[in-house]
Amino acid sequence: MSARRRRRAPPEEYVPGTLLDWRGSVHWSERPLPCRYCGAPAHLRDSRMKPAHKVCAEQALATQAAEAADAYHPNGQTT
């Protein structure tokens, strides 16, 4: 018999700073480049090595998730 994994409920709402884990040194660059979201200089790099602030990237992900959820009706049909 295999062990069952319990799913965690999704957070009620987006809390800044809790979505992405960028503690690894791979996300840091000595050379600041314009953030791909807000344009301000950023030392951080996302998983594709594009310059981005963590808060900006998290907000973009939250916005994308909300837009994807809004694209569906409650009965599962797309708009």
Give the model confidence (pLDDT) of 14-53 as tens digits: 566 666 888 888 889 999 999 999 999 999 998 889 999 9
Is 0.85 topped by the overall pTM? Answer: no
Instruction: Say if residue 75's pLDDT is above 90.
Output: no
pLDDT the model gives residue 47 = 85
Beta-carbon contacts of residue 54 (< 8 Å; ≥ 6 apart): 17, 20, 22, 44
pLDDT the model gives residue 10 = 57
pLDDT the model gives residue 24 = 85
Of the candidates 40, 49, 62, which has an alpha carbon nearest to the alpha carbon of residue 22?
Answer: 49
pLDDT the model gives residue 6 = 64
Q: Which two tokens stand for residue 71?
A: 């694209």
